[in-house]
Amino acid sequence: MKSDASIPLIDNYFGLLSSLSKENKIKLIARLSNSIVDEVSEKENVVDRFFGAFKSDKSAEEIINDIKGSRTFKSKILST
């Protein structure tokens, strides 16, 4: 999404790049496209690192029961 402030900048770039040959324009388009794909891939990789980080042969219910069973409570009230 373009903001009003970026339109003059885009127009300036277009003015500079309009004199390029068709081959160079295509190369530039390819590089810009690849840079967008790389950015999306990097973001996906960051998120993907957190999925599957915990591995266990236990079912979800068994893990929940283990967590609940390991809880300890103090009946003594701590005063400050």
Q: Please count the structural domains in the chain.
A: 1
Each residue of 15-44: pLDDT tens digit?
989 999 999 999 999 998 888 877 766 666
What range does the domain containing 33 cover? 19-48
Single pTM value for the model = 0.42
DSSP letter for each residue of 35-66 = HHHHHHHHHHHHHHTTTT-S--SS-HHHHHHH
In a domain, 32, yes or no: yes
Q: Which tens digit of pLDDT belongs to each residue from 61-80?
A: 999 999 998 988 777 766 65
Query: Is 35 inside a domain boundary?
Result: yes
In a domain? residue 26: yes
* Structural domain includes residue 44: yes
- Segment holding 24, helix H or strand E: helix 22-48
Flag whether 33 is in a domain: yes
